[in-house]
Amino acid sequence: MYPTSTLCRTQEARQRALASDTPLDNVRRIAEAAASAWANEAMVAERREARHARSGETAGPELQADRDRDASENPDRILAA
């Protein structure tokens, strides 16, 4: 399961707030590094979400059921509907 861009941006903001609120230099550096890592992950998530939207992977549940059926480890057997 991949984190969403919204989750990543929320965590980035949380870490930036932590960095700005602390008087401790080491805590600030760690929080800034964590915020940068979350920002990078958010960019990756945004690209992934855009790719999924273009490819139709966010299709409705009926298409997802077809994909699940196609992914059966026993494709020669018909799945009960």
Q: How far is CA 50 from the centre of its chain?
A: 12
Residue 47 has pLDDT above 80, yes or no: yes
Contacts of 44 (CB under 8 A, 6+ apart): none
Q: Is 60 exposed, middle or buried (0-12, 13-18, 19+ CB in 10 A)?
A: exposed
So what's the pLDDT on residue 13?
Answer: 97
Q: How far is CA 18 from the centre of its chain?
A: 22
Q: Is the pTM of the predicted complex or chain greater than 0.85? A: no
Digit-coded pLDDT (tens) for 10-41: 999 999 999 999 999 999 999 999 999 999 99
Digit-coded pLDDT (tens) for 33-45: 999 999 999 999 9
Q: Is the dihedral of CA 13, 14, 17, 22 positive or negative?
A: negative
- Answer with the residue of higher pLDDT: 52 or 31: 31
